[in-house]
Structure 1
Amino acid sequence: MTVPQAYSYGPYHDGPDPLAPPIDLREAMDAIGEDVLAGSSPRSALQELLRRGTRDTTGLDELTRRVWQRRSELQRRHRLDGTLGEVQRLLDDALRAERKALFPDPSDDARFREARLDALPPGTAAAVRDLADYDWTSQTGGQNYERIRELLGQQLLESRFEGMKEALRSTTAQDVERVNRMLADLNALLAAHARGYGDIDERFAEFMRRHGEFFPENPRDIDELVDALAARSAAASRMLNSMTPEQRQELAQLSQQAFGDPRIAQQLSQLDSQLRGLRPDQDWTSSARFRGEDPLGIADGVRAMTALAELDALAEQLSQGYPGARMEDIDLDALERQLGQDARVDAARLAELQQQLRGEGLLQRAPDGSLRLSPKALRRLGETALADVVRSLRGRTGQRDTSSAGAAGEPSGSTRQWQFGDTEPWAVSRTVRNAVLRTAAAGGGRVRLDVSDVEVAETEHRSRAAVALCVDTSWSMVAEGRWLPMKRTALALHQLISTRFRDDALRLITFGRYAAEVELPDLVGMEGTWEQGTNAHHALLLAGRHLRRHPDAQPVVLLVTDGEPTAHLEPDGEAEFDYPPSPRTLRKTLSEVDRLAKLNAALTVFRLGDDPRLAAFVDALARRSGGRVLAPDPEGLGAAVVGDYLRRRTR
């Protein structure tokens, strides 16, 4: 008989949530692309994305805010005099119980004891010290006094050793002696380590064999042991620094009464001194201000100081602002301890997002060590930009080709009888149908194809275009918020031509004081710079050069600018700037327009802004070249440029 397999269900603890939604790389690339287009470097754009987060993942900025909020809550909620207050309460209860027990006793001994209690010094620590040899009459008083000693010993040890509470379940004389032996052996081990003894590994192993119960963190070597002890010792030092001088003095005196054995405090003092020498890089001197109402004991105070140090480290890790910072630097365990499981998941997803962006080839490292967008990432940005433009065109995207039957291209949907010399593909279904009908009309029989049966699929004729997109990169484009729309326009047009009109030749030309032919990655990563000059003359000159390289293509020039020409190129290659525009600049610019007109180039000027002088000049350009002027708002620039290109292609 087959026994059915049993299944057990429970919470998932190992690794990321398997049911979590996948990371949306397209959304991430769109966000990075927006920042890169606006002038940020890819590295800065990636860091900004990690700071902001995504739709489903909390960013580093929010996690950092929660870290600082958690830190503030710790300081606002607590104060550090919990042990002092508890000792004072136990002492008051002990004295009250002792006086109550002595009051009905008529003996001289009782009066002598009352006089001694009345003569106790005012300070809590001094009173506890003076009562060290007092023979308590009251059982409650004696128990409270012993509780004070136990409390001080437990708090001091727990403040230095994380596992002391579990290892020291009772406080018998044998237990206290066991702790003293451990402290003495530990100080001897650290002293040997400081002196560089060669057998330190054997000494460490023997120490752990004897006293491993006090160290649940199970350090693997002497360095791990020193690191763990030094971190807690430094936290205890910072806690003392955070107390008032009076509180520090009281605590130092009380520590001598720990377990009624002054050797404990002496051994801990020696331990702190050695750890400070072995780990001077720990923070031994800072302090924090606690201003709350909830009192913390020594051990809890050290834990609070440890938590503050952990939160400070997390804040630095989350900032990613130090040299060589990586998302892998974030201590996920510490983040979960301080902010919970959700914070750990968010940080892990951000690290995974960063890895996937690089793993998918969307970000690549340049020879100089900087990050740059890969061709794959640029295509994705282009797809997004083109999709936005297509939505803006509202269904006019089909107006792009001349629909005359002719050379190979997209099928038009109609067919015709084959003629000698035709190279179009056969319309197979029509050809077979013709053969079947012809055979049936002839009385039936075996169907055979004849030349007269063949029909071919007509295709739309596509004219090839040479396109020069000239974009203004003067400072005014940045200052007036036209920088990003300009780049998105170039992306959309480049994507359209590279995917749908691959025979077309597109050239991107930027012009400020000078003009230059640029590749798409250079334009996308271009940063806005303060530069005077709008050299449309140089841009149109480069556009004409591009059109002459493709004499068999339909010439199209698209000029995007927000300012009238204020610079022109001299024969020696130097740019001459004048504002207001000099007549020479205007003449040279118009002469380039005339040269383009001789090439039958279709010129469209996209005017950004409402400057009357600019409007008058571009209108003159359009009249002179037989072109036209469009004045879109910046957000509609992409649709205007792509729409005009498609209209030119139709013509």
Structure 2
Amino acid sequence: MPERRPSRYGRYHGGPDPLAPPVDLAEALDAIAEDVMAGYSPENALREFLRRGGRGREGLDDLARRVQQRRRDLLRRHNLGGTLDEVRKLLDAAVLDERKQLARDAAMDDDDRAFREMRLQNLPTSTAAAVNELASYDWQSREAAASFDRIKDLLGRELLDQRFAGMKRALESADDADREAVNQMLSDLNGLLDKHRRGEDTDVDFDDFMAKHGHHFPENPRNVEELIDALAQRSAAAQRLLNSMTAEQRRELMDLSAQAFGSPGLMAQLGQLDANLQALRPGLDWGGAESFRGSEGLGLGDGTGVVQDLAELDALGQQIGQDYGGARMDDLDLEALARQLGPEAAVSARTLAELERAMRDSGYLRRGTDGSLRLSPRAMRRLGKTLLADAASRLSGRQGQRDTRQAGAAGEQTGATRPWRFGDTEPWDTTRTLTNAIHRTVGEGLDPGTLRIDVADIEVAETETRTQSAVALLVDVSFSMAAEGRWVPMKRTALALHHLVSTRFRGDQLQLITFGRHAGVMDVEELTALGPWREQGTNLHHGLLLAGQFFRKHPTMQPVLLVVTDGEPTAHLLPDGYAWFSYPPDPETISATVVELDKLGRRGAQATFVRLGDDPGLQRFIEQMARRVGGRAVAPDLDDLGGTVVDEYLRARSRGRDDDLLW
């Protein structure tokens, strides 16, 4: 029997977590719709949601802050004197060991000892000059000679590590044969790049090069272009590292470079490599610089890696910012994000990308004829349902108010069902009733072969009253509505009422009429996307004219007029179609508005005026208008605006009926 191996569990690394919960489109849609109603385009609203993130989820702004914080940390932690500091330590150790050896060597000629001690005593203060001064020195101490050789070896490895990541460690115990192999690799590489610049290279040239030297390139490039990309990015970072040093540091390193591996040939090869790469990739940043100000010294290789990290962080910042044309969340380099900020950041970014993709693919957003994103009818239905539920919850919280879910006691079926109540005369919904009985029987552990229907199982077909209404909702879109924070509540109200009429009272007709300097008819999608207007004027006269036209189109329906406004009329329509504006309100404007209201009153319109704000003049005007046509004047809080308008609509429908709506 094979031995059972213990199971081990850990983080899933095979791509998106298959057990991760799905993205919450409902939360995203609510947030996007709220911003759209505030005046954002759906495209910008989606961007804003991605920036903010959702409940318990990082957004793009959070990731951007982390990117900038890591960038600041790298600059504050490091300085670029690491290689020079290490060379200085090795030089000091070599000089100290040599002085000790000179003091111990009794057989040495006194003049020779004095000359050597004087030479060591008078070394230049510059590290590079001191190293070059001792390049031809005949070391008496084996330890000192070894330390000085390590300087040459360190410089060679650091210079190579600048261009080839990991080379410093790979050549840590290198011998002359290894160094010669590196020189040969550089020679072959420059030959390949020279041929590529002239357009004379072939795939065979690249394959031969990789077969011979591929172990030096962990990136495993598949062609010469990928090889150049990897090398050029590193080389450009090395140049930016040098640009970031002080003039003294650069001069010291240039002077020291001649001692790399004890031969100036390495610098010649690297100089040719840099020239080839800059010619092949001139668009990279070869002239930038960073401001390092920390205490932790960096060597040339590690410093180049940090400069590459800074460049990668800058690229991530641009991707996260999404401020360029055609930006998409799929542009984010998740691997780079994981390298710089950890796997959790990559998971957050992947979730945001999936949410963006799901919002675009779910049908909640659609492209208009002009190419811009818009809320789809499906999104509008869902949004209206949410807003109506909010309005209904406020209604049900009032003492003695109706439940908006209830339909009329007699009339046409709505397609919905509800539990039977004592006194109901609606027909049973047989399918729902039997289904409820089966579920209850099984749930109670009874014999499913014997089905008994309980009163609690019965559902009846919901109906709506046969009395139909033509509803004109007039909403003020003057500048004061936006300035006083009433713009979004007004839109939420319109959407809630639209959803109620279109789903519960399908026989009714609803028209949304906006009035500012002029009035106009809008569908609910247009009103939702309508941005705040800065045009002054409250032309209720024009709005009432359009309401009258709407009522005349539906002569057999009960006319219901709902007006939401925060100001007295300050404009009216002249016969030539021009809107006359005057503030304070002109008596002619008031007179024209009253004339149109009287016409609607004679038509039998059930009118409700919803006043927003505490202006005494508006209060007097609204109350007088309501009394004139036997209507109602209400002044709800903004939070209760939707519930108030829905309630007034239901109240207006119920007037004149013998069987009132269920309470």
TM-score, normalising length: structure 1:
0.91
Could you say if the C-alpha distance between residues 469 and 259 of structure 1 is closer, same or farther in structure 2, counting changes exceeding 3 Å?
A: same
Residue 141 (structure 2) pairs with residue 138 (structure 1): yes
SS of the counterpart of 1:606? strand
RMSD after superposition: 2.3
Contact 1:557 1:601 in 2 (8 A): yes
Return the alpha-carbon distance in structure 2 between the equivalents of residues 528 and 47 of structure 1: 20
Residue 103 (structure 2) pairs with residue 103 (structure 1): yes
Return the alpha-carbon distance in structure 1 between the equivalents of residues 16 and 653 of structure 2: 52
Could you say if the C-alpha distance between residues 32 and 428 of structure 1 is closer, same or farther in structure 2, counting changes exceeding 3 Å?
A: closer
SS of the counterpart of 2:268? helix
SS of the counterpart of 2:135? helix
Return the alpha-carbon distance in structure 2 between the equivalents of residues 617 and 232 of structure 1: 75
Between the two proteins, the alignment pairs up a number of residues equal to 617
Residue number among 488, 492, 502 corresponding to 1:498 in the alignment = 502
Aligned to 2:290: 288
Contact 1:413 1:458 in 2 (8 A): no
Deviates further, 78-87 or 322-331 = 322-331
Return the alpha-carbon distance in structure 2 between the equivalents of residues 546 and 457 of structure 1: 32
1:28-79 deviation per Cα after TM superposition (whole angstroms, max 9, x unaligned): 1000011001111001100000000000310000100110000000000110
Could you say if the C-alpha distance between residues 301 and 104 of structure 1 is closer, same or farther in structure 2, counting changes exceeding 3 Å?
A: same
Contact 1:401 1:650 in 2 (8 A): no
Aligned to 2:316: 314
Contact 1:168 1:175 in 2 (8 A): yes
Aligned to 1:568: 572
Could you say if the C-alpha distance between residues 2 and 260 of structure 1 is closer, same or farther in structure 2, counting changes exceeding 3 Å?
A: closer
Aligned to 1:204: 206
Contact 1:401 1:462 in 2 (8 A): no
Aligned to 1:358: 360
Write out aligned runs for 1:449-488 (5 A).
Answer: 461-488=465-492
1:154-213 deviation per Cα after TM superposition (whole angstroms, max 9, x unaligned): 11111100242465353211111111111111111111111111x332221211111111
Q: Which runs of 5+ in 1 are unaligned?
A: 417-423, 430-455
Contact 2:363 2:376 in 1 (8 A): yes
Output the amino acid matched with 1:361. Answer: G
Shift of 1:618: 1.1
Output the amino acid matched with 1:70. Answer: R
Return the alpha-carbon distance in structure 2 between the equivalents of residues 190 and 3 of structure 1: 55
Could you say if the C-alpha distance between residues 457 and 564 of structure 1 is closer, same or farther in structure 2, counting changes exceeding 3 Å?
A: closer
Write out aligned runs for 1:537-616 (5 A).
Answer: 537-616=541-620
Contact 1:402 1:462 in 2 (8 A): no
Residue 333 (structure 2) pairs with residue 331 (structure 1): yes
Residue number among 101, 113, 117 corresponding to 2:116 in the alignment = 113
Return the alpha-carbon distance in structure 2 between the equivalents of residues 284 and 329 of structure 1: 24
1:516-561 deviation per Cα after TM superposition (whole angstroms, max 9, x unaligned): 1110000000001211211101111111111122222211100000
Aligned to 1:449: none
Contact 2:569 2:589 in 1 (8 A): yes
Could you say if the C-alpha distance between residues 457 and 101 of structure 1 is closer, same or farther in structure 2, counting changes exceeding 3 Å?
A: closer
Output the amino acid matched with 2:118. Answer: A
Output the amino acid matched with 2:139. Answer: W
Residue 44 (structure 2) pairs with residue 40 (structure 1): no
Residue 234 (structure 2) pairs with residue 235 (structure 1): no
Shift of 1:26: 0.6
Contact 2:464 2:505 in 1 (8 A): no
Write out aligned runs for 1:318-397 (5 A).
Answer: 318-394=320-396, 396-397=401-402
Residue 559 (structure 2) pairs with residue 526 (structure 1): no
Output the amino acid matched with 1:298. Answer: L
Q: Which runs of 5+ in 2 are unaligned?
A: 432-459, 656-663
Shift of 1:361: 0.4
Residue 628 (structure 2) pairs with residue 624 (structure 1): yes
SS of the counterpart of 1:398? coil
Contact 2:392 2:403 in 1 (8 A): no
Contact 1:567 1:578 in 2 (8 A): yes
SS of the counterpart of 1:216? coil
Return the alpha-carbon distance in structure 1 between the equivalents of residues 168 and 347 of structure 2: 32
Output the amino acid matched with 2:246. Answer: T
Shift of 1:586: 1.0
Aligned to 1:398: 403
Deviates further, 64-73 or 207-216 = 207-216
Contact 2:28 2:49 in 1 (8 A): yes
TM-score, normalising length: structure 2:
0.89
SS of the counterpart of 1:132? coil
Return the alpha-carbon distance in structure 1 between the equivalents of residues 303 and 186 of structure 2: 22
Output the amino acid matched with 2:73. Answer: E
Return the alpha-carbon distance in structure 1 between the equivalents of residues 428 and 566 of structure 2: 52
Could you say if the C-alpha distance between residues 406 and 321 of structure 1 is closer, same or farther in structure 2, counting changes exceeding 3 Å?
A: closer
Contact 1:159 1:298 in 2 (8 A): yes
Contact 1:474 1:531 in 2 (8 A): yes
Shift of 1:646: 1.3
Aligned to 2:15: 15
Contact 1:415 1:458 in 2 (8 A): no
Deviates further, 393-402 or 608-617 = 393-402
Could you say if the C-alpha distance between residues 123 and 620 of structure 1 is closer, same or farther in structure 2, counting changes exceeding 3 Å?
A: same
Shift of 1:458: 11
Deviates further, 209-218 or 486-495 = 209-218
Shift of 1:400: 8.1
